Amino acid sequence: MSKADKLFVSMCEDIIANGFSTEGQKVRPHWPDGTPAHTIKNFGVVNRYDLQEEFPALTVRPTAIKLAFDELLWIWQKKSNRVSDLGSHIWDEWAGEDGTIGKAYGYQLGVKYKFKQGEMDQVDNILWLLEHDKYSRRIMANMYNFADLSEMNLEPCAYSMTFNVKGDTLNAILNQRSQDILTANNWNVVQYALLLMMFAQVSGLKAGELVHVISDAHIYDRHVDIVKELIERPQYPAPKVTLNPEVKNFYDFTVDDLIVEDYQKNPQVKNIPVAI
């Protein structure tokens, strides 16, 4: 059975049984009908996924892996904040009159800085270090730029990646300030597992462990019954997910280079209410 499923189920059961409810507190999110969107939450959730064992896609609630990959490429490869550059419409509601999401996500990864090896952006710095100084303890990127927060239509939730090489294996830590567990948990896990695989492949390394650190892991009040139904579903083995081995340049990857095989899964959950 999928280890990602087991982690997800355990995390959800713990939040529902032992989490802190924000009921009665003043909260920013609300439902489309204007009702406050309260949550049950746990602080400091840490999940570890070993990509050498399996790809961490859920089977209890299937993840649209190619759509998740498309958004990842939009942020990390295209370094774009323009929603028209994205294949899906998941960011449309956050777009301003200029068609962008402001100085958020991909925009931050495209900003150039003066590093010791020259001027480049954060993604190119990661690639340079993996080629020239792979055992560095400074291989990281951070999208939470305080100077630009007021110009972001949405402050980044998954905001930093730190990479670390052990022998011939690339590992990473994903830091996330907040996560809607039902709608976004496995979406982000799948994305950053693929990012780890991409960086490893173009650097001649093996993809190892992804550690996901969530500061505020929450289930919205209108999601609790859906989550309870999900965690009772049958679990299946993880799918086989690979990248086209012919791609050697990070900027050459496309969605067509993603190969998903043997993805046995439960039916998709539809019409999930989304807090705004």
Of 211, 209, 205, 198, the closest CA to residue 241 belongs to 198
List 60, 83, 157, 198, catalytic entry: 157
SS3 assignment, position 241: strand
What SS3 state is found at 258? Answer: strand
Answer yes or no: is 137 a known binding residue.
yes
User: Tokens 């609300």, residue?
Assistant: 30
Residue 75 annotated as part of some ligand binding site: no
Contact in structure between 30 and 36 (CB atoms under 8 Å): yes
Annotated ligand binding at 188? The verdict is yes
- Residue 17 burial (C-beta neighbours within 10 Å; 0-12, 13-18, 19+): exposed
Bridge partners (DSSP) of residue 216 are 43, 178
For residue 233, say whether it is annotated as part of any ligand binding site: no
30 is in an annotated binding site: no
Residues 8 and 177: their CA atoms lie apart, in Å, by 18
Residue 157 catalytic?
yes
Comparing CA positions, the residue from 197, 205, 109 lying closest to residue 160 is 109
* Residue pair 185/145 in contact by the 8 Å Cβ criterion: no
Write the DSSP symbol of residue 260: E
Residue 180 is assigned to a ligand binding site: yes
Give catalytic residue positions.
157
Residues annotated within the binding site for dUMP are 137-138, 177-180, 188, 218-220
Positions at the binding site? 137-138, 177-180, 188, 218-220, 275
